[in-house]
Amino acid sequence: MQFSANLNIKWLILFGVWLVYFSFGLTISGLAPIVKIILIDLKMSHTEMGSVLGAWQLIYIVSAIPCGILVDRIGPRKALFVAAIIMAISGLARSLSSDYLALFLSVALFGLGGPIVSSGAPKLVALWFSGKDRGLAMGVYITGPALAGLLTLSSTHPIFLPLFENSWRSVIQLWSLVTLFIGFFWIYISSHPKSLAIENQIATEQKRTQLQEVTELLKIAPVRIMLFMAVGIFMFNHGLNNWLPELLRANGMSAVNAGYWATIPTIVGVIGALSIPRYASPERRVLILSLLTIAGGCATLFLLSAPGPLLFLGLMLQGIARSSLMTIAILTLVEQPGIGKTRAGIVSGLFFSAAEVGGVGGPIMLGYLYDVTGGFTAGLHMLTIIMIALFFGSVNLKYMASSSQKPR
């Protein structure tokens, strides 16, 4: 295959990574706008729907590390293709579900494909980019799920449901077909000789057993702190991402208006993802992480407001927090001393394995507390407490970094 000599291959690779992450976002965000329809169609409770929304994270917890090992072993190029196929099958299975259990298992299947993307994308960025370009590249590809969420939230009710005669199943099938196409497109554009050469070089550097790698990684104190923070970050992100349209509807909005308002964090998040990581130089990273936790905590308080300026501000702050919390955390993690390019896949898998404990807990917690209390207030208060804990975690990181720099 011949590519244009004027084309910088690393940006083409980044575009491919972005597309795969976009399909990741289509699959996880496709259910949020149609939660109410599915609740009625399949006769499910909010607690059951919360468990469905958290089903793939439940599998993710145990599959993230093996998936990170898989990425390191077969290379991120092939791994991302496998991930796209799994995600497409998960989406198709959802559209064929006839009851709670079938839908739960279909969503859970995504937990075998999602972590491959989550581990493979940072590894590819670490392989192809360095310095400020690495932060920019991380910010670029992380916009994929955000823009996918923007598409699903803003178009499902006004465009695709009417187009498919209010069939939520047909909408999910559409996203699955897009994901399948992206998978084949990725394997095509990533077959450049330079890409294959880099992958082969990394494969020859895998010398240690994966158990040894995990054991040594867990000995690094900042890694342990980042794993703790990963849980809270994903409770915040996944809890609000999955329930936000329904939360807004509970505030009195129509389904269409809730969909439009729910795009505010996504739009703000795209801007934040493209800008914040660029300024997160190593010496500023922990400070920015602390400020993002403050933004997230304020967002959970303002989301309790009725439609108006405070709610708008809360949605903007949510977008700022979710745009870069994960990105800055992963950048901090993969650039810790002792990680390196060869460990980027497995440490990312370790990060997401811990994170998806929160990914499961966030949606379930909000759904359960809704059933118990009849609203989302208690759930949002819990997220506020979690963001306060994350703030102290980032302060601890700063303290450890300062202590390590003092002369002995």
Reply yes or no on whether the pLDDT at 205 is more than 70.
Answer: no
What is the per-residue pLDDT for 408?
Answer: 45
Q: Which element (helix H / strand E) includes 61?
A: helix 55-74
**Mean per-residue pLDDT for 16-22?**
93
Which residue from 289, 272, 335, 347 is spatially nearest to 115, judged by alpha carbons? 347
Residue 66 clears pLDDT 90, i.e. is over it: no
Residue 406 lies in a domain: no
User: What is the band of 5 on the pLDDT scale with cuts at 50, 70, 90?
Assistant: very low
User: Residue 177's pLDDT band (boundaries 50, 70, 90)?
Assistant: very high
- pLDDT score at 344: 64
Of the candidates 97, 107, 112, 102, the one whose C-alpha atom is nearest the C-alpha of residue 27 is 107
Compute the C-alpha angle 9/138/18, nearest 5°: 60
User: 311 in a domain, yes or no?
Assistant: yes
The confidence band for 211, taking pLDDT boundaries of 50, 70 and 90, is: low
Mean per-residue pLDDT, 91-115: 93
| Range scoring the smallest mean pLDDT among 36-50, 106-120, 146-160, 323-337 | 323-337
Q: Would residue 1 count as lying in a domain?
A: no
Query: Does residue 94 have a pLDDT over 60?
Result: yes
Of residues 216 and 393, the one with the higher pLDDT is 393
Q: What is the pLDDT of residue 342?
A: 62
* C-alpha dihedral (109, 267, 79, 362), degrees to nearest 10: -40
Nearest CA to 248 among 297, 295, 310, 306? 306
Q: Is residue 50 part of a domain?
A: yes
Q: Is residue 4 part of a domain?
A: no
The Cα–Cα gap between 360 and 329 comes to 19
Using DSSP, state whether 167 is helix, strand or coil.
Answer: coil
Q: For 76-92, how does the pLDDT look when each residue is reduced to its tens digit (9 = 90+)?
A: 888 999 999 999 999 99
Q: How many domains does the chain have?
A: 1
**Contact yes or no for 199/77 (Cβ under 8 A):** yes
- Say how many CA atoms lie within 13 Å of 238 toward its Cβ: 29
Distance CA 178, CA 35 (A): 21
Q: Which residue has the higher pLDDT, 54 or 41?
A: 41
Q: What is the pLDDT of residue 316?
A: 94
**Structural domain range at position 93:** 9-399
Q: Is the pLDDT of residue 260 over 90?
A: no
pLDDT score for 2:
38
Sorting pLDDT into bands at 50, 70 and 90, what band is 37? very high
Q: At 25, give phi and psi (nearest 5°).
A: -65, -40
Name the E strands within 300-357.
none
pLDDT at 172 over 90: yes
Q: What is the pLDDT of residue 358?
A: 87
The residue among 4 and 274 whose pLDDT is bigger is: 274
What integer is the mean pLDDT of 344-371? 82
In the block, tokens 């997220």 appear at 383
> What's the confidence (pLDDT) of residue 221?
78
Asked if residue 407 is part of any domain, the answer here is no
The radius of gyration of the chain from alpha carbons, rounded to an integer in Å, stands at: 20
CATH code where residue 34 lies: 1.20.1250.20
**CA distances (Å), 296 to each of 62, 304, 344, in order?**
27, 13, 27
Separation between Cα atoms, residue 82 and residue 76, nearest integer Å: 10
Higher pLDDT, 103 or 269: 103
Cβ atoms of residues 134 and 280 within 8 Å: no
> Encoding tokens for residue 55?
């089903």
In a domain, 408, yes or no: no
Q: Is the pLDDT of residue 284 over 90?
A: no
- What does each C-alpha distance from 177 to 95, 171, 172, 315, 402 come to in angstroms? 12, 10, 9, 31, 50
pLDDT of 196 reads 72
pLDDT score at 209: 57
First to last CA, the chain: 56
Contact call for residues 60 and 356 (beta carbons, < 8 A): yes
Q: What is the pLDDT of residue 82?
A: 94
Alpha carbon separation from 112 to 10, 61, 115 (Å, rounded):
27, 10, 7
Structural contact between residues 133 and 13, judged by C-beta atoms closer than 8 angstroms? no
Instruction: Provide the pLDDT for residue 292.
Output: 93
Strand, helix or coil for residue 142: coil
The pLDDT of 49-59, averaged and rounded, is: 83
Which range has the worst mean pLDDT, 148-152, 337-341, 368-372?
A: 337-341
Average pLDDT of the segment spanning 148-160: 87
Structure-token match 């394997």, residue found: 187
pLDDT digits (tens, 9 = 90+) for 317-333: 999 998 788 888 887 77
Q: State the Cα–Cα distance between residues 349 and 18, nearest whole angstrom.
A: 19
Q: Note the pLDDT tens digit of each residue in 300-356.
A: 999 988 888 999 999 999 999 987 888 888 877 777 666 666 666 677 778 877 887
For the segment 64-75, the average pLDDT, to the nearest whole number, is: 79
